[in-house]
Chain A
């Protein structure tokens, strides 16, 4: 038993998000110092805020899966598959948004259910199962789509577009969607009993079962959440570009996973932070832009990326004890 510490101690549950935030601020200070002409203008932020919400919404759902002690690598292929469902329905129904969105989310949900079923009921490793599903689902997408690029210039002036991805002053509308979804999922993860059950599932499932918590159902719902978020990202992506192409999920896998871990959610499960994820996603998205903006060649991006991920993990360990190991 240790002595009571004197003075104010930062509560343990706030440390990961605070650590992620300090790291983000540090990185921004460096970027601003290196390229003030870029980072002190509004334009760069507007540009970044276009794509940040898509990574962040995806990452939010991955916090649940990771905290539940599993991993999901299939989402980069759920995005184009659900997106195809959306694009196809739009074409078939003469732009019935509600129907298309419903079908799109149903496809995402079904993919999540399948992943969850394979992992929990059949007891397969989630890493390998979802890796396989990632291949299978992009394959299915390609077979169904048959290489077609579906352009929707009709969407450009639609009301739905301005609600989903329009802009409010310099702030893209999707930032508000992100804020809303993050708030809801934050409550779900940190305050709702479902969130507690998710964390227990990743920490000590036996303890949960002994207390009557349905661990399998909890994990399945985490995978379903990933599927639904992938569908939402698919819809936003299509509206953002007014185009559907089956490669729209490429480039999500590593940055999104990085956002989860940079945000302070440990890979070992049992814990996670929604606030940290949003900051982690911002960190990741800013690196891509920041490295180029500071005058370095684009080839430096990946190097900068790697350095930031490793440094941030070290920072989390210093700050939060054993959390990130």
Chain B
């Protein structure tokens, strides 16, 4: 893990009216690591990712730094230009279009008249599907997305992130409501994402999934970071016990 963080959040706050969704968040994301971001509903996970991906602005006192430079007027377009890609849970794909159309959506390879270079897009999609560990022999890049399983769909969405030279990929609940084998498939995609040199923020409700892929855990409770540390030798059971500890504290208070 190299020394300079890709994204650094310094004293980031976000309030809606007089409710704090995030309070004094200080967090670094380094190259080549998978960070599992966990916490209960309303803990601030999605607000935090929206701030990193530029779809929501933090309150004015905090700072977002990319490559150790403070960024101003952070936006989703800027985030993408700086290599931060977000894969959303439901809104990622156009179901009736082909896999390759989805992969290249918004960044089509075209000639100067705007006609899509299908051959090239299909070839690149094929190699991409191999790279990410797409094992299915049934689907080709021409298959439409509505034929795919939930896990395979995530694979398509994730492979876009690889294609467009992103450095930090934010995955918002990629295994929610998935069967075990499907979720396992997605976790494999995530590991391959890391192998291809990307950093990942993995947001999940599922402690087992979060534990399985993580290099580091960040636990959010009520808008605050209550734990930020490496996985090290922590077992899944230890991790779940840790989660329970914070959850119980929360209930008592």
List chain A positions with a Cβ less than 8 A from chain B.
Answer: 1-4, 11-13, 187, 191-194, 196, 199-200, 203-204, 206-208, 210-213, 270-271
Cα A296 to Cα B102 in complex, Å, equals: 50
- The docked-state distance in angstroms from the alpha carbon of A203 to that of B118 is 20
Q: List 28 A-B residue pairs with CB atoms under 8 Å apart, sorted by A's residue number.
A: A1-B138, A12-B144, A187-B115, A192-B110, A192-B116, A193-B110, A193-B114, A193-B116, A196-B105, A199-B96, A203-B94, A203-B96, A203-B97, A207-B92, A207-B94, A208-B94, A208-B106, A210-B88, A210-B91, A211-B105, A211-B106, A211-B107, A212-B80, A212-B106, A212-B107, A270-B94, A270-B96, A271-B96
B248 interface contact, C-beta 8 A: no
Given contacts A204-B91, A211-B106, A270-B94, 18 further A-B contacts (CB under 8 A): A1-B149, A4-B138, A191-B118, A192-B116, A196-B101, A200-B97, A203-B94, A203-B95, A203-B96, A206-B91, A207-B93, A208-B105, A211-B105, A212-B80, A212-B107, A270-B96, A270-B97, A271-B96
Give the CA-CA distance A203 to B136 in the complex, in Å: 25
Residues of A within 8 A of B124 (CB): none
Asked whether B95 lies within 8 Å of A213 as measured between CB atoms, the reply is no
Is the beta-carbon distance between A200 and B94 smaller than 8 angstroms? yes
> Which residues on the B side are within 8 Å of A200 (C-beta)?
94, 97, 105
| A191–B94 touching, CB < 8 Å | no
Collect the chain A residues with CB atoms within 8 Å of residue B118's CB: 191
**Measured CA separation A14–B105 after assembly (Å):** 22
Q: How far is the CA of A187 from the CA of B90 in the complex (A)?
A: 30
Output the least CB separation between B122 and chain A (Å). Answer: 13
Which A-chain residue is minimally distant from B149 (CB atoms)? Answer: A1
A contact residues around B106 at 8 Å (CB):
208, 211-213
Cβ of B23 under 8 Å from chain A: no
Interface centre among A13, A191, A204 (most CB of B within 10 A): A204
Cβ contacts under 8 Å, B143 to chain A: 12
Of all chain B residues, the one with the shortest Cβ separation from A187 is B115
Whether A191 touches B116, Cβ cut-off 8 Å, given contacts A210-B88, A212-B77, A270-B96, is: yes
- The reply to whether A194 and B94 form a contact with Cβ atoms under 8 Å apart is no
Contact digits for B61-93, partner A, Cβ 8 Å, 1 yes 0 no? 000000000000000010010000010101111
- Number of B interface residues in the complex (CB < 8 A): 31
State whether A196 touches B108 (Cβ < 8 A): yes
A248 and B92 alpha carbons, distance in the complex (Å): 45
Q: Which residues of A contact B144 (CB under 8 A)?
A: 12
The 5 A-B residue pairs with the shortest CB-CB distance in the complex, in nearest-first order: A211-B106, A206-B91, A270-B96, A193-B108, A212-B106
> Which residues of A have CB within 8 Å of B249?
none
**Which of B93, B113, B142 interacts with A204 by CB under 8 Å?**
B93
User: From DSSP, what is the main secondary structure of chain B's interface residues?
Assistant: loop
| B137 interfacial contact with A, CB 8 Å | yes
Taken together as a complex, chains A and B put the C-alpha atoms of A193 and B138 apart, in Å, by 26
Residues of A close to B102: CB separation below 8 A:
207
Q: Which residues between 100 and 140 of chain B lie within 8 Å of chain A, taking CB atoms?
A: 101-102, 105-108, 110, 113-116, 118, 136-138
- Which chain B positions have C-beta within 8 A of A194? 114
User: B115–A207 contact, CB under 8 A?
Assistant: no
A2 to B136, CA, bound (A): 10
- Whole-angstrom CA separation of A187 from B138 in the bound complex: 29
- Supposing A191-B116, A196-B101, A212-B77 touch, asked if A11 and B142 sit within 8 A by C-beta, the answer is yes
Bound complex: CA A271 to CA B94 (Å): 11
Q: Which residues of A contact B97 (CB under 8 A)?
A: 196, 199-200, 203, 270
Contacts of A193 in B (CB 8 A): 108, 110, 114-116
With A1-B149, A12-B144, A211-B107 known as contacts, the answer to whether A192 contacts B96 (CB < 8 A) is no
Q: Which residues 142-169 in B have Cβ within 8 Å of A in the complex?
A: 142-144, 149
Give every chain B residue within 8 A of A1 (Cβ-Cβ). 136, 138, 149
Q: A270–B145 Cα gap in the complex (Å)?
A: 12
Chain B residues within 8 Å of A203, by CB = 94-97
Tell me, in angstroms, the Cα distance from A3 to B115 when the chains sit together. 34
Q: Which of A3, A211, A213, A271 has the most CB of B within 10 A?
A: A211
User: In the complex, which residues of chain A have a beta carbon less than 8 angstroms from the beta carbon of B92?
Assistant: 207, 210
> CB-CB < 8 A to A191: which residues of B?
115-116, 118
CB closest residue in chain B, given A213:
B106
Inter-chain contacts of A271 with B (CB < 8 A): 96
Whether A2 contacts B138 in the complex (CB less than 8 A), given A192-B114, A193-B110, A212-B77, comes out as yes
